[in-house]
Chain A
Amino acid sequence: MPSSYDAFFAEIEAALSADAVNRSAETLQRYAENTMPGGDRLPAGVVYPGSTAEVQVIVRAANKHAVPLYPISTGNNIGLGSRSASRPGQVVVDLGRNMSSILAVDERLGFAVVEPGVSYQAMYDELVRRGDKLMLDVTSGPPQGGMIGNAMDKGAGYTPYFDHFGFACGMEVVLGNGDVLRTGDGVLDSSELVNWHTSKYSFGPILDGLFTQSNYGIVTRMGMWLLPRAPAIRSFHFAFPEDDDLAEVIELCRPLKLSNFVPTLFRVSNDLYLCGSEGESPEYRASGGKRAISDAGRRVLREKTGVGAWTVSGAFYGPSAAAIEPQIARVVDHFTRSGKAKYIAHDEAANIPPLQVAINAFSGIPSLGELGLLKWRPGGGNIWFLPGTPMDGKLANEFQRLCRTIYEEHGLDYTVMNVCGPRFARGLHVITFNREDADERARADACYRKMSEEVARRGVFVGRAPLDYHDFHMAQAMPAFRNVCAAIKRAIDPNGVLAPGRYGIG
């Protein structure tokens, strides 16, 4: 059936309002923009629903007129796609504009219920207004990033509630046919839902996961669990001097997480991940962006910023700084035993901007500092390569050497933070490049693909992916997985109106 965009938009304007549709050239250009090497993707229009019922109207109209939709929350998914649709010609459903209410905060049970437009900053502000008694886990990315969007893309933070999908509880989802589904305990056919946002596991299969990194539904409401804020939060940091010290770092972090002695995840950042947020590469202009920064240049930056080739950060929560001090002392002893690590105490770290970013992250405070990484090279190009490694020092260091070499072969700067849990570390690899330089753009693209292929050859897949690489990664998946994803798509979005192509589905 041929798409009928004019009829679709007319129907939305009639059912919602004229303000609910925007097709102006300047708006479309903005929504087209992203930071990918592959270029912008011009949408056919933007629609702004104000409620779940209005989302249903839009989805039903899309089915009727064969118009592909692309829902976004706040559109701050920089490095992974921004607000850009999977394919040109899709209609962006901007949920962030008019669906940005905090529907509930239960201070006794420790959860909030939010709409897609609620950002980390807005939630944080609301919790502060209520007396700062509860803490939201935040990313170290844009404070205006959306809680629902991040959780649905399997984003994460650093506190004990780091797993944003894992600590989400109870969703409301508009399916591809326009029906509304509740998940978790919300599946009970009742208007009184006592446990919707307190129990993830209820009768029947757990459907929530279907809506992560997929295109099976539009999540319009979600519960998110909140942690009581401790009176004292004290961080600790250790700087290691050599690139290959990563092996030791991982071995040191693992037991502290397996035992849960340290409640936060570890941020294990390389020098450029920390120094890179402080300004443009000092060697970029000289090489015209053709070469990676030199080892000598990195050393200068490390000394200037006061960090190591690798810097480990973590934190404790407690009733007071004094009560936490013995735990810090044990960690200091643990990390400094080999003689390589330099300890950076909380108060000293608070004066080192990239480490203050870590303190904010452990404290559930949204902050902007890490966005400075985007300025490391001019031109606005940015993609994130997100594989992972088991918490095995030797293996992690092999991956480090592999990826560092591939970055350097492509004239790019190896920039990574390993976010370490007990058994697994996600490697947040930042590829910052000049998007206005065709050669550099091509090198960034080739670098991403080469790393993906090489780690896959060693049995490692990515955890999230930039928009340009959804089909590429789906092709790396086993056929049965691809078939199941396609079959689910056909079952609950038979006309394929929801974000066709997102994460390589449909």
Chain B
Amino acid sequence: MRTSFSPTQLADPEIAEANGILETCVHYGFCTNTCPTYVLTRDENDSPRGRIDLIRAMLERGGVPEAKTVHHLDRCLSCLSCMTTCAVKVDYAHLIDRARAHIERHYRRPWADRFVRLALAKLLPHPRRFAAALRVGRAARPLAGLLPRRWQVLTDMIPAASNQRPHLLAPGVCAPEGPRRRRVALLAGCAQQALDGAINAATVRLLTRHGCEVVIAQGAGCCGSLTLHMGREASARAWAVANVQAWTRVQADGGLDAIVVNASGCGTTVKDYGHLLARDPDWAEPARRVAALARDVSEVVADIGLAAPAKPVTYRVAYHDPCSMQHGQRVTREPRDLLRAAGFQVVDVPEGHFCCGSAGTYNLLQPDMAAALGRRKAAHIAGVDPDVVATGNIGCMMQLRRHLAVPLVHTVELLDWATGGPRPPALANVSLRTRAPPVAAGDSPGASGSAGGDIGFW
């Protein structure tokens, strides 16, 4: 795509970066049909190709963006399905982040929007504040009808107390069971701790059982992705620097084999710290080192090799690929392989490349689009008739629980359970159907791993 930035504009490294990305787009349009918002609206401006054009026009003109541009860019999920599809590998992720930062700097949203965004930016990254806000919100729920719709949406999203298991991990070191095979730092995270502490608990058990010394670094916190995707770059960078500092200290004090992330939305951001802090003279190099160490928990366990299952768990698991995992990190095989190795029957979800509508704060800021996507994803999951749904991102879990009747857990909870840990809390009091042991998998690259069925000669 041809652009027309002035030399003065191109002297700005951020514009220069955007220009380089824009020039790679050749408008093939493969991205349109895999973009969830385009598929729902069929509006070119709700497609990556259309948004790239809007971003080009906005950045070329500079200054205050048009409301129409903001509307369509706000509707982008940053699911990055377009990046998987794109034949010429346009770096849309960094382009949309650049656009969001521009909007945040130059566009004055209506006061209610500003207030909601500010509240999310100040609450979600802080687990204690967020847990308190959830309690307040739950108490206020009976009065939700009196609130403006924007606030009703937020109170609607608050999980029932029975579905919320807050548990904050304290900084410290968890010793491995048996000889130490790896020393890893675990990103304890922010909102996830307030929403579902069972995930971190299962992660620590799983890792220590597999010989990992697990360090919860003093000073590490939110990864920064929540604010980054709201255009608040300075805040995101501050979080990133804090984490880089914390993990660099840990690395200096005993070494680190990996930085383990169990929320894939966060993992995508941590793996990209090298880019986020590239222009920070003090932290660019440490950030690159940290990013190079970042791994999804499934990558780490797959690398070590899953211990032999402690109990038969032949349940049918629908594995939902979080967008940040499949499009952001390209980690798709490890979770499936691990679940199969643990004894579960793993089935894929149709339209797997599609976002469930969670997308960080998206389901709070764009509730209608998010709900449509959530219902669509839930219907596909229900269609494969699973006993349980596994995924690797807290955002997807919270979103899908609103639309699904099937129990939903993090992949590590199932792996922990199969290898000797407790039954996941979400499966308490749930009667699971016993299945026949899976046939030998691996011969066929078919999606289910147990292809053939009862049709025909085979």
Q: Is the CB of B29 within 8 A of A75?
A: yes
B457 contacts A by Cβ under 8 Å: yes
What bracket does the count of chain B residues touching chain A fall in? 35 or more
Q: Is the CB of A27 within 8 A of B443?
A: no
Point out the residues of chain B lying under 8 angstroms from A228, CB to CB. Answer: 452-453, 455-458
Binds B, one of A121-129, A295-303, A419-427: A121-129
* A129/B44 contact (C-beta < 8 A), A107-B455, A134-B455 known: no
Which residue on chain A has the smallest CB distance to residue B88?
A375
Chain A 106-128 interface 0/1 with B at a Cβ cutoff of 8 Å (1 = within): 01101000000001011011101
Which residue on chain B has the smallest CB distance to residue A107?
B455
How many angstroms between the C-alpha atoms of A61 and B151 in the bound complex? Answer: 49
Which listed residue (A30, A125, A320) contacts B351, Cβ 8 A? A125
* A132/B30 contact (C-beta < 8 A), A228-B452, A374-B88 known: no
A155 contacts B by Cβ under 8 Å: no
How many angstroms between the C-alpha atoms of A135 and B455 in the bound complex? Answer: 11
Q: Is the CB of B87 within 8 A of A375?
A: yes
Q: Is the CB of A30 within 8 A of B29?
A: yes
Q: Is the CB of B448 within 8 A of A131?
A: yes
Q: Is the CB of B444 within 8 A of A133?
A: no
Point out the residues of chain A lying under 8 angstroms from B440, CB to CB. Answer: 320
Q: Is the CB of A125 within 8 A of B88?
A: no
Chain B 28-47 interface 0/1 with A at a Cβ cutoff of 8 Å (1 = within): 11100110000000101100
Which residue on chain B has the smallest CB distance to residue A279?
B89
Which residue on chain B has the smallest CB distance to residue A233?
B444
Which listed residue (B2, B34, B442, B451) contacts A229, Cβ 8 A? B451
Q: Is the CB of B458 within 8 A of A125?
A: no
Q: Is the CB of B447 within 8 A of A128?
A: yes
B residues 96-147 near A (Cβ < 8 Å) are none
Cβ of A376 to closest chain B Cβ, rounded Å? 10
How many angstroms between the C-alpha atoms of A228 and B456 in the bound complex? Answer: 6
Which residue on chain B has the smallest CB distance to residue A35?
B28
Q: Is the CB of A233 within 8 A of B443?
A: yes
Q: Is the CB of B44 within 8 A of A436?
A: no
Q: Is the CB of A319 within 8 A of B458?
A: yes
Point out the residues of chain A lying under 8 angstroms from B348, CB to CB. Answer: 128
Which residue on chain B has the smallest CB distance to residue A126?
B350
Cβ of B69 to closest chain A Cβ, rounded Å? 12
B167 contacts A by Cβ under 8 Å: no
How many angstroms between the C-alpha atoms of A353 and B149 in the bound complex? Answer: 49
A372 contacts B by Cβ under 8 Å: yes
Which residue on chain B has the smallest CB distance to residue A280?
B88
Point out the residues of chain B lying under 8 angstroms from A134, CB to CB. Answer: 455
Cβ of A57 to closest chain B Cβ, rounded Å? 20
Cβ of B51 to closest chain A Cβ, rounded Å? 12
B380 contacts A by Cβ under 8 Å: yes
Point out the residues of chain A lying under 8 angstroms from B89, CB to CB. Answer: 375
B residues 13-55 near A (Cβ < 8 Å) are 24, 26-30, 33-34, 42, 44-45, 49-50, 53
Cβ of A321 to closest chain B Cβ, rounded Å? 5
Point out the residues of chain A lying under 8 angstroms from B44, CB to CB. Answer: 26-27, 30
How many angstroms between the C-alpha atoms of A110 and B447 in the bound complex? Answer: 18
Q: Is the CB of A144 within 8 A of B458?
A: no
Point out the residues of chain B lying under 8 angstroms from A26, CB to CB. Answer: 44-45, 50, 53
Point out the residues of chain B lying under 8 angstroms from A126, CB to CB. Answer: 350
Binds B, one of A201-209, A363-371, A397-405: A363-371
Point out the residues of chain B lying under 8 angstroms from A97, CB to CB. Answer: 42
Using a CB–CB cutoff of 8 Å, the interface residues on chain B facing chain A are 2, 24, 26-30, 33-34, 42, 44-45, 49-50, 53, 84-85, 87-89, 347-348, 350-353, 380, 383-384, 439-440, 442-448, 450-458
Q: Which 5 A-B pairs have the closest CB atoms?
A: A380-B26, A133-B453, A232-B443, A228-B456, A125-B350
19 more contacts with CB within 8 A, not counting A26-B53, A121-B351, A233-B446, are A33-B27, A48-B42, A76-B33, A78-B28, A82-B29, A110-B455, A125-B352, A131-B453, A144-B33, A228-B455, A229-B444, A229-B458, A230-B458, A234-B443, A363-B446, A368-B85, A374-B87, A375-B89, A378-B26
6 A-B interface contacts by CB (under 8 A): A35-B26, A129-B383, A230-B451, A232-B444, A320-B443, A365-B446
